[in-house]
A and B are shown apart, each in its own frame.
Chain A
Amino acid sequence: MGTAPAQLFPEFIVDTLGLDSVIGEVAASLVAAFVVGNIILAFTGVAGPWAKRKITAAFTDRIAVDRIGPYGLLIIPAAAVQLLAKELIIPEGVDRPSWDIAPILLPASALLGFSVIPMGQLGPINLQLADPEVGFALVFAFASIASVSLVMAGYASNNKYSLLGGLRAVAQNLAYEIPLIVTAMSVVIFAGTLQMSGIVGAQTETLVAVAGVSIPSWYAFVNPFAFVLFLTANMAEIGRNPFDIPEAPTEIVGGYQTEYSSAYFVLFYLGEFVHIFLGGAILAVTFLGGASGPGPESIGFIWFVVKIWGFFLFTQWARAALPRVRIDQLIEIGWKGMLVLSFANLVLTAVIVGVIA
């Protein structure tokens, strides 16, 4: 990196407020986590009731939510009140407490992933909560807790459609987690570190300069093949079209979320959106240079937001345009196609890096 790495967010709070006791550090960490968590939840709040509808409407030649407030933005509080005010229906025979834990686990696991994501600077603040040396491994670990939640929901609902959805979720996650991580490993070989800031830092150099415009060495440019692989596996990992098989409303009526209503339903939706954003964040950090972009480093956060919203837009585009694959086809693509390709990519990268570097 050009300048010295900025302080992590919690350290920044400690320094600014002069809290040097243990309690002070804990408090600062909690405050920082609260701020970051709320940023993500705010994204979700905008995305779920408003942006998603607007985007889908634009893709399908319609007009969506434009009655309440400017550009229909006040639909967000209206939808929140409406969803939370609904009756929570608890079906007979559900397996509690796992039925109650599942909807909390999904957004929690996705939010946890953001603890190590370097979201870039906003003014003097560097929005990253922690930067452990194994951060890259950690973020995948957090993200994959989500499938536990889906299985829990599917099994505990005591509904056959939910069960099918839960089973599909496991099969899908197994088939795509491995290509996802193996492809990510090829980036680690390039960067030589598992630390998130290190991976971002390794992408700041200029790859080529064409007519005064310098193209940074983002791994999407360095290894576009791995980028496409990762993008595909990522779509399957977060369960979006053409891989929205665990939900598949026209087949299994929403799968694991069939029996959930009211606040629990909101939590599941929240979790899915946070998961999309986490998927976008991982993609941005791994292949799109994290928070880097034109302009000073202090507006990096804005570039980061642009990137994850770009990914969100991409998922919605896929949703409007692409058919859903069948479960057996999905498994086949995962185990017979993606896995082989991702290992080929890994070996090739290792050879190239080993020979050149």
Chain B
Amino acid sequence: MSLERPDTVDDGAVERTPDELEALLGDLVVDRDDHLNAPGFVIRPDTVQETLRTLKEQAGYDHLSVVSAQEYENRYESIYHLKKYDDPTQEVSIVVPADKDDPVSESAEPVFRTADWHEREAYDLIGIEYDDHPDLRRILLPETWQGHPLSMDYDKDRPQIATLPEHANPLEDHHKDAESDTMFLNIGPHHPATHGVLHLKTVLDGEQVADVEPDIGYLHRSEEQMAQSGTYRHQIMPYPDRWDYISAGLLNEWAYARAAEDLADIEVPEYAQVIRTMGAEMCRIAAHMLALATFALDINGDFTATFMYAINDRERVQNLLEDLTGQRLMFNYFRLGGVVWDLPEPREEFFSDTRDFLDQLPESIEEYHNLITSNEIFQMRTIDTGILPPEVAKNYGATGPVARGSGVDYDLRRDDPYGYYDELDWDVVTEDGCDNFSRLLVRMREVEESAKIIEQCVDLLEDWPEDERNIQANVPRTLRPDDDTEIYRAVEGAKGELGIYIRADGTDKPARFKIRSPCFSNLQTLPEMANGEYIPDVIAALGSLDVVLGEVDR
């Protein structure tokens, strides 16, 4: 059976009970604060590094999914959601309260590199300061912004009128001494290859990149705050479509659906789970087709045929999604407890259309292999460029095709099963090249796996007895999850681990809604891949990361 994990289980994968973990951490634990998904340990703000290092090195928790921060009436709080790459069902939350008047907490950056951006975001939006952080600046909002928008005393009505006196000179200290001869170059925010509004502050030494720093936030739309002001039942579901808007809508919706359903203890009917699984994999194909298309654009140039061919194939799957959901981009198809409506009538037509698409897909993939992956120039450009070693990928919390292209065997569909995935026969794709080529190859092979999943779903749906087609569970009109319940749940989005942290406060709206965007963590690895390479390789590496800025900036 393909879904079984490989036998190589090291000591890190040994599962420990919460009490054993507490014993391991010893005096570091001040209190327990369990979440629905994981045991939670409260620690002092000055022992963050020690605690996380112990868990990472002695208990094998090597994946810092996300840092979610929030403000309470009497304290600030950062939560480090830890997991294992080998088994993401083993989770632990480290809760770090910080003083209300002087919210300072130790940074986790020396233990997990990925904490860098996550803590900057917490500082930017909530206002917690992190000691020992290498570069604590605002990340999503402009550097002149006054106040922290998700903190309690933030005045939304106050106009932001502070002007920027002067930009810091990027060449002031590093990369500029008497001998060196470097040039600072802004790539973006408007540039043909940044796939959205991304700004890369680049320091060039000739054509080679001495340093690159992604500057994000241009597409920040307060998605978290908007979700916090919507009711669980209906008002939040439309937002996920707008995070990764590259037709990965259903995958995003599933992230919210999974978190909220587990929070409110809703059981989804099997029939709806099959439809969800099918729709989600269609979205994955559409998303990967666009990734392939734009990557070809980056490598080949503007007039490449590959781009249009891939867009054509994406169009076909998009038509199927339109038949299914009634929408082409912002699907809003999932509901808590199921999906909004059944398959389109006549069902036979939908099934035959889907099968037609699946039948021609191998031919298309073959064509892409002929056009790009087997082209010598293409190989010359992508093999051994943009190297991301597996250890570095893990340290940055990289997930999805980016991690799997570095040989990290991590796919939540198999490792933390949801929906109908564990009933189906398919494989997790990994490549060991760690380069731009591997990441592309992973996506191309994943399209084939998704096709396998869709085919099995279609078979199931075709034979589903008519009186058992239950598309929605009974869900109360208003959901009020219990006060002070917290949950972090993730699904395998098109780009990787897309997670949602929700804290309920007994009302019908979430008190804190935090999105763990895979692109956010993946984009952080760009400097690791790009430094020392040529400009075209930076563009290629960025393309192979396949970031969607709507999801990075939220």
Contact = CB atoms under 8 A, between A and B. Distances in A.
A in complex with B: yes
A127 to B, nearest CB: 32
A146 to B, nearest CB: 20
A60 B536 CA distance: 24
Contacts of B377: 242, 322-325
A322 B299 CA distance: 9
Interface string A235-255: 000000110100011111100
Nearest to B296: A323
Contacts of B381: 323-326, 329
Contacts of A249: 192, 301-302
Given A160-B185, A241-B300, A60 B193 contact: no
B305 A248 contact: no
B192 A326 contact: no
Interface string A326-338: 1111000000000
B309 A248 contact: no
B380 A321 contact: no
B267 interface: no
B192 A323 contact: no
A259 to B, nearest CB: 14
Given A62-B308, A325-B377, A319 B537 contact: no
Contacts of B312: 61
Contacts of A161: 185
Interface in B272-296: 296
A314 interface: no
Given A61-B312, A323-B377, A326-B381, A251 B536 contact: yes
Contacts of B308: 60-62
Nearest to B300: A323
Given A59-B305, A241-B301, A250-B539, A328 B193 contact: no
A56 interface: yes
A320 interface: yes
Contacts of A145: none
Nearest to A317: B305
B183 interface: yes
Contacts of A319: 301, 303-304
B305 A321 contact: yes
A168, A249, A316: which has the most chain B beta carbons within 10 Å? A249
A104 interface: no
A253 B298 CA distance: 11
B534 interface: yes
A251 B303 contact: no
The prevalent SS among residues of B at the interface is: helix
Interface residues of B, number: 32
A164 interface: yes
B304 A320 contact: yes
B534 A250 contact: no
Contacts of B300: 241, 322-324
Nearest to B376: A323
B539 A251 contact: yes
B305 A60 contact: yes
Contact of B534 (A60, A242, A326): A326
Given A322-B300, A327-B207, A253 B192 contact: yes
A319 B479 CA distance: 57
A251 B375 contact: no
B191 interface: yes
Contacts of A61: 305, 308-309, 312
Contact of A320 (B192, B305, B535): B305
A325 B377 CA distance: 6
B378 interface: yes
B207 A328 contact: yes
Nearest to B377: A323
Contacts of B28: none
Given A60-B305, A62-B308, A252-B535, A322 B375 contact: yes
Interface of B: 183, 185, 191-193, 207, 296-305, 307-309, 312, 371-372, 375, 377-378, 380-381, 534-537, 539
16 contacts: A60-B304, A60-B309, A61-B309, A161-B185, A242-B377, A244-B301, A249-B302, A250-B539, A251-B536, A319-B304, A323-B377, A324-B300, A324-B381, A325-B381, A326-B536, A329-B381
Given A61-B308, A323-B300, A323-B381, 16 more contacts: A60-B308, A61-B309, A61-B312, A160-B183, A241-B301, A241-B303, A249-B192, A250-B192, A250-B539, A252-B535, A320-B304, A324-B299, A324-B300, A326-B534, A327-B207, A329-B380
The 5 closest A-B pairs by CB, nearest first: A60-B308, A250-B193, A320-B305, A323-B378, A60-B305
